Amino acid sequence: MKVYQTNELRNISLIGNAGSGKTTLAESMLFEGGVLSRRGEINNKNTASDYQEIEHHQGGSVYSTVLYTEWRNNKINILDTPGLDDFTGGVVSSLNITDTGILLLNAQNGVEVGAEIVWRHAKNQNKPVVIAVNHLDHDKTNFEKTVEEARQLLNKKIILVQYPINAGVGFNSVVDVLTMKMYKWKAGGGAPEILDIPESEIDKAKDLQNELIEAAAENDDELMEIFFEKETLTEDEMRKGIQTGIINRELFPVFCINAKENMGVQRLMDFMINVLPAPNQVTEPVNNEGDSVKCDKDSFKSIYVFKNSIEQHLGEVLFFKVMSGTIDESEDLINTTKSSKERISQMYAVAGKHRSKVSKLLAGDIGSTVKLKETKTHHTLNEKSQDWEYPKPNFPQPKYRVALKAVNESDDEKLGEILHRIHQEDPTIIIEYSQELKQLIVHGQGEHHLNTLKWIVNNLHDIEIDFITPRIPYRETITKKAQSMFRHKKQSGGAGQFGEVHLITEPYDGGELNSGTKMFKFGDKELKISVRGVDEVKLKWGGKLIFYNCIVGGVIDTRFMPAILKGIMEKMEEGPLTGSYARGIQVYVYDGKMHPVDSNEISFKIAGSKAFTDAFKNSGPKIMEPIYDVEVITPNDKMGDVMSDLQGRRAVIQGMSSEGRYEKLNIKVPLAELSKYSTVLSSITSGRATYTMDFAEYNQVPHDLQDELLKAYEKEQEED
């Protein structure tokens, strides 16, 4: 394969709703460029993209697929992305390393929810977008409505470069107002017949060309002067202005295609080569030190790994972009993320499941390699003198969580390795083992997302797993002081066990610690104690335990105090009410008894634990639940349904604002009420709403819910 210069490269992401035709367009582009000798079809499961077994099973993209095609002595790197929001990680990571998004719209359905979602991702990453209206050969096609919806829902600066002559059954012709020609295809598509615009269309074409000229001129002061002087622009001048507008996201051109019949594909590829920016024409990436990195083949060597995949017969394949410099085969680089040396022994240009070996890749190009030791997704590899990294993209926060366990415990170790590998392939799947909940928790973008993970584990790795409802990480604390004592006495022949502990529990609000003398009153009795020592225990789950040693007269030997604290800490880790972590408590150990023979550490550990449990339950105990800040973005017409659902979830509205045709709700919602919320929200808004969630605080649960939790825990303990 030819070594492509940076200015001969175009990097694009195909984005859009599921069913918009991204994979089919990619197939036609590879066919036209000679990378494929024949076009595959999704129904036949033989496309270059969507080649993974899970994608064959689901009939659509689950991962982004790296592809390329060659066109007119240039190379177009293509990332075909998933259309379902559950697999949005592939869209975010693809846009992060490409320079332009090609948004496909289905002319039968207009602007679908998936198009709105990926448009937001492109906007968030400040990426240029070109629109390709597809499926123009169906009887329900409505090109004009699709374009009008796009202007209303996406951006008013969407402008036509092409429009169809005969949209619907039999579609085969478009007018191109940039070249002012009509393109007409025979059955099977491919190279069009280039004709003069019919007399019946000339006025419409001229009007649209004038709109395009004005839009192009607006993006360049020099072109604006030419336009004012001549009232027109040449085709080359228009291309220059359009390119500037595209890069600045001030212009979003529209093309017409029928990807399945390979109509309009060559013209779209011509536009990519002639107008879309090369990697060195867009905003330079910034490393973690805040420095811009110039995309220059003669600069220092630097690559960024944006994706990995486990391939049969190859093992782990790593996909990377050459950010700067020139990478040769057998290149030695430093993984700055892991501070380790790696050798790029083999490199490939990738077209899905098809690979072509290459010996050199220049700045801006995309390739793959295998058999690296420690390099994973989002790692940076530089030459020795550069020790910084590229930041990974901002992926959406998880919206759905389940607890997972292997049906056979013997599979636990293998399951852990598989889940780690799955996270590497899809960083939006997050795996954690919660010591608190004693569950393996898997976080994802939605119910379908995690069901897909389950299918992969069950069917591709032959491990049967179950999903169960994850527990809620409640917290336990107290609201008033209480006094208690416990005597642990056990005799079974020989040395026995004896320990007696008297203590007081009191809420701790984070204020100053007590010292000296303190008075307590319980009923008619007053108790005066003197603080001799204090341990301030910072709890790993937040908050503190303050442990006061108030023993006088040696009634409990100092060497037994750590054992008492250990017994209390065990109950702090498994709270007396629901087994959840406890926090915000002060404990005063002020009296007790020892036995000269039978007292030992285990005796005082048990006595301390039992006394603490009794005092805790009499200290006005309360259960705290995690509250999340949730931001919901919903279409205006679904606002009532969304609000009605939230009312049943104990949500507290913090604020509302409008963003065009959308309403943004800022609310606080208990985590316990967010189970399967992503599925419900999608159902009531037809998939058009989205949301994010971040932990905010802990608040007391309502009394009726606390009673339910206490009864449930008691029942669980009885069953155990």
Say which CATH number the domain at 57 has: 3.40.50.300
Task: Kindly give the residue spans of alpha helices, DSSP state H, lying in 131-201.
Answer: 143-153
CB atoms within 10 A of CB 529: 20
For residue 495, being part of any structural domain is answered with: yes
Whether residues 433 and 485 fall in one domain: no
Which of 115, 95, 91, 108 has its CA nearest to residue 18?
Answer: 115
Cβ neighbors of 189 (< 8 A, separation 6 or more) are: 28, 258, 261, 262, 263, 264, 265
Q: Give residue 482's pLDDT.
A: 97
Q: Which amino acid is at 18?
A: A
Secondary structure class of 560 (helix, strand, coil): helix
Pair 560, 648 in one domain: no
Judge if 136 and 25 occupy the same domain.
yes
pLDDT for residue 661: 75
Q: Is residue 514 part of a domain?
A: yes
Structure tokens at 162: 């092409």
φ, ψ for residue 362, nearest 5 deg: -100, 165
Is 549 among the domain residues? yes
> CA distances (Å), 509 to each of 66, 479, 506, 513, in order?
55, 10, 10, 10
- The pair of three-digit structure tokens given for residue 243, joined into one six-digit string: 């390119």
Q: What's the rounded Cα separation, in Å, for the pair 18 and 85?
A: 9
Instruction: Note whether residue 584 is domain-resident.
Output: yes
What's the CA gap between 573 and 434, in Å, rounded? 13
Same domain? 492 vs 609:
yes
For residues 304 and 310, what is the distance between their CA atoms, to the nearest angstrom?
18
Q: Give the residue from 322, 350, 382 where a domain finishes.
A: 382
Tell me, yes or no, whether 607 and 640 share the same domain. no
Number of domains in the chain: 5
Spans of the chain below 70 pLDDT: 493, 720
At residue 227, the pLDDT reads: 82
Backbone phi, psi, residue 707, to 5°? -60, -40
Is-contact 430 395, C-beta < 8 A? no
Cα atoms in the Cβ-side hemisphere of radius 13 Å centred on 512: 3
Question: What is the domain range of residue 671?
Answer: 624-705
Q: Are residues 123 and 191 in the same domain?
A: yes
Whether residues 63 and 205 share a domain: the answer is yes
pTM: predicted TM-score of the whole model, two decimal places = 0.86
For residue 720, the model assigns a pLDDT of: 66
The Cα-based distances of 328 to 238, 335, 339, 563 in angstroms read: 38, 16, 21, 63
**Same domain membership, residue 138 and residue 42:** yes
Are both 689 and 642 inside the same structural domain?
Answer: yes
Residues 677 and 560 in one domain: no
Same domain as 665, residue 635: yes
* Domain match, 436 and 488 both: no
